[in-house]
């Protein structure tokens, strides 16, 4: 494969251009070239990653199936109030209708969409409970196999519902436990949702069970945690207990990561409490990564109380990811979470679009911030889910494998219809040459491709 007039923004200034030849995905020749006026530059970048995306409930609100035996309809379950409680209730109803064909189709659509955006790795959350049984998992395993040549897909067996409280808690836990023992070779991570339990005690049981079970099965661990904007009076946010329980069960030394998603409550802590948390995480030496899920958080969090007289006051209510990294020295990244369902009805699921929104959400508008935000949907995301990829693109050189990296092309000209049928209207296209150009103004998918 020959790639000409290539910019590598991770290591060079945009003025430096390369002609690259690959053999079986590895660079065999790499020579510097002069900027070409005739050939628009192409940018070579580390590929994108979804560190946290829900597979089985994607597109429930937008799949528009015509109801049939194999493909149930979900038209009646679109958000009416848009509340979190409604999203939970309607998703539970949707689960009762899942069929294998439906799960496979919506999953394929999500994976195909991800790949065309430039995603080559992901952690797919697959919900298991007393309603779904194993169907969501067995379908995810089919998808993992069928897309293996394009995507490095981790399966996270995920308990969205309580496993230590409510009348279904025990049945839900039994399903997850059986799934782990029957399908362990296909499973990469265990995820739970401690905040849905009915008491603090049950939440702690949930965390401790997940920690010990992940250790038993040698799995990465992934919590949906502290999903509230209520100030923690006492006790502290659950994240502190997670650290203690990981230490109690000697997680240090285990080569699996711990990802903490949402954690919106941390955004209401004061700076000294945040510093205390960062100190606890860093001192623990635990491989803890925070994943901000800003599109879901902004949609669900920060809603005004009923009968308030400040109904226009809407806090962002999401982890301040760049500050976690830059100020507190923590590991963090950002993820899409949901696409086309009641938890996040909007968006295409494009990680680059998410990084772009991060500029506004996080007040992160410098050139360095653009690179950091790109990292949050690329190498930082992969590090969080334990896909060994130190590659932030700086090490690209002869002998290096670049298969699976992302290419972003530029168009030479903009062409529009002219005033008559014969004469077109044409002028040079604006060129994207750096991280800021890509993050501030993400290119359309037609300009993106993955090196094969
Ligand atoms: Zn989630």
Each residue of 413-444: pLDDT tens digit? 999 988 776 778 889 999 999 999 999 999 99
What number of CA atoms fall less than 13 Å from residue 247's CA on the CB side?
12
> Cα of 437 to ligand 1 centre, how many Å?
29
Q: What is the DSSP letter of 256?
A: -
> Cα of 338 to ligand 1 centre, how many Å?
7
> Cα of 270 to ligand 1 centre, how many Å?
25
> Cα of 292 to ligand 1 centre, how many Å?
10
Round to whole Å and give the CA distance between 174 and 165: 13
Q: What integer is the mean pLDDT of 205-224?
A: 98
> What is the predicted pLDDT for the residue at 379?
95
**Residue 342 near residue 77 (C-beta atoms within 8 A):** yes
Structure-token match 């007040």, residue found? 363
> Cα of 291 to ligand 1 centre, how many Å?
10
Q: Is the pLDDT of residue 390 over 70?
A: no
> Cα of 260 to ligand 1 centre, how many Å?
10
> Cα of 334 to ligand 1 centre, how many Å?
12
**Residue 54 near residue 95 (C-beta atoms within 8 A):** no
> What is the predicted pLDDT for the residue at 410?
97
- What percent of the chain shows pLDDT beyond 90? 87
Give the chain's mean pLDDT: 94
> Cα of 335 to ligand 1 centre, how many Å?
9
Model pLDDT for residues 296-332, shown as the tens digit of each residue: 999 999 999 888 999 999 999 999 999 999 999 999 9
> Cα of 412 to ligand 1 centre, how many Å?
40
**Which is nearest to 321 in space by CA: 280, 379, 380, 236?**
380
> Cα of 221 to ligand 1 centre, how many Å?
13
Q: Is the pLDDT of residue 179 over 70?
A: yes
> Cα of 421 to ligand 1 centre, how many Å?
51
The mean-pLDDT minimum among 338-342, 365-369, 385-389 falls in 385-389
> Cα of 337 to ligand 1 centre, how many Å?
5
> Cα of 98 to ligand 1 centre, how many Å?
19
The mean-pLDDT minimum among 9-13, 34-38, 87-91, 269-273 falls in 34-38
> Cα of 102 to ligand 1 centre, how many Å?
20
> Cα of 23 to ligand 1 centre, how many Å?
39
> What is the predicted pLDDT for the residue at 5?
95
Enumerate the β-bridge partners of residue 407: 44, 449
First-to-final CA distance of the chain: 9
For residue 427, give the 3-state DSSP assignment: strand
> What is the predicted pLDDT for the residue at 307?
87
**Which is nearest to 323 in space by CA: 374, 271, 390, 284?**
271
Which domains, and CATH codes, for the chain? 2-46+394-450 (no CATH), 48-384 (3.20.20.140)
Element (H, E) at 298: helix 294-300
Q: Is the pLDDT of residue 184 over 80?
A: yes
> What is the predicted pLDDT for the residue at 394?
75
For residue 135, give the 3-state DSSP assignment: helix
Round to whole Å and give the CA distance between 378 and 425: 37
Q: How confident is the model at residue 389 (pLDDT cuts 50, 70, 90)?
A: low
**Residue 218 near residue 180 (C-beta atoms within 8 A):** no
List of residues 6+ apart from 374 with CB closer than 8 A = 45, 352, 355, 435, 438, 439
Q: How confident is the model at residue 252 (pLDDT cuts 50, 70, 90)?
A: confident
> What is the predicted pLDDT for the residue at 425?
86
Q: Is the pLDDT of residue 395 over 60?
A: yes
> What is the predicted pLDDT for the residue at 362?
98
> Cα of 15 to ligand 1 centre, how many Å?
41
Between 159 and 234, the more confident residue is 159
For residue 233, give the 3-state DSSP assignment: coil
Structure-token match 């209401």, residue found? 268
> Cα of 406 to ligand 1 centre, how many Å?
26
**Residue 250 near residue 297 (C-beta atoms within 8 A):** no
Q: How confident is the model at residue 346 (pLDDT cuts 50, 70, 90)?
A: very high
Model pLDDT for residues 142-158, shown as the tens digit of each residue: 999 999 999 999 999 99
CA distance readout (Å), 334 to 275, 299, 405: 21, 15, 19
> Cα of 54 to ligand 1 centre, how many Å?
6
> What is the predicted pLDDT for the residue at 44?
96
Model pLDDT for residues 96-139, shown as the tens digit of each residue: 999 999 999 999 999 999 999 999 999 999 999 999 999 999 99
> What is the predicted pLDDT for the residue at 363?
98
């Amino acid at each position: 494969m020959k790639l000409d007039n290539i910019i590598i923004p991770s290591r060079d200034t945009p003025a430096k251009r390369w002609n690259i030849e690959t053999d079986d995905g590895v660079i065999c020749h790499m020579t510097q070239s002069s900027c070409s006026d005739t050939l628009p530059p192409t940018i070579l970048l580390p590929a994108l990653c979804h560190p946290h995306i829900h597979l089985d409930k994607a597109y429930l609100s937008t799949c528009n199936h015509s109801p049939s035996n194999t493909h149930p309809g979900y038209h009646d379950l679109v958000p009416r109030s848009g509340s979190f409680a409604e999203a939970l209730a309607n998703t539970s109803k949707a689960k009762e209708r899942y069929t294998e064909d439906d799960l496979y189709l919506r999953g394929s659509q999500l994976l195909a969409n991800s790949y065309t955006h430039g995603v080559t790795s992901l952690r797919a959350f697959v919900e298991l409970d007393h309603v779904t049984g194993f169907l969501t998992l067995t379908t995810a395993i089919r998808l993992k196999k069928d897309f293996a040549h394009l995507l490095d897909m981790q399966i996270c067996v995920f308990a969205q519902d309580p496993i230590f409280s409510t009348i279904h808690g025990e049945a839900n836990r039994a399903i997850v436990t059986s799934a782990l023992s029957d399908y362990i070779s296909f499973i990469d991570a265990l995820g739970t949702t401690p905040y849905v339990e009915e008491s603090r005690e049950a939440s702690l049981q949930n965390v401790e069970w997940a920690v010990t079970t992940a250790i038993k099965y040698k799995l990465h661990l992934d919590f949906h945690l502290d999903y509230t904007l209520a100030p923690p009076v006492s006790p502290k946010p659950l994240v502190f207990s997670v650290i203690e329980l990981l230490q109690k069960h000697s997680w240090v030394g285990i080569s699996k990561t711990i990802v903490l998603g949402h954690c919106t409550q941390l955004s209401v802590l004061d700076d000294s409490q945040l510093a205390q948390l960062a100190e606890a995480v860093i001192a623990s030496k635990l491989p803890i990564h925070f994943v901000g899920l800003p599109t879901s958080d902004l949609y669900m969090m920060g809603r005004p109380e009923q009968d308030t007289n400040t109904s226009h006051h809407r806090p962002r209510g999401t982890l301040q990811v760049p500050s976690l990294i830059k100020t507190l020295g923590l590991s963090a990244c950002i993820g899409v979470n949901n696409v086309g369902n009641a938890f996040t009805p909007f968006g295409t699921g494009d990680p680059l679009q998410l990084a772009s929104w991060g500029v506004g959400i996080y007040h992160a508008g410098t050139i360095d911030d653009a690179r950091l935000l790109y990292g949050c949907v690329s190498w930082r995301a992969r590090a969080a889910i334990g896909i060994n990829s130190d590659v932030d693109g700086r090490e690209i050189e002869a002998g290096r494998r670049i298969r699976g990296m992302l290419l972003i092309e530029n168009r030479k000209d903009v062409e529009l219809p002219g005033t008559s049928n014969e004469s077109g209207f044409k002028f040079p296209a604006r060129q994207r040459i750096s991280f800021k150009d890509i993050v501030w103004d993400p290119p359309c998918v037609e300009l993106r491709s993955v090196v094969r």
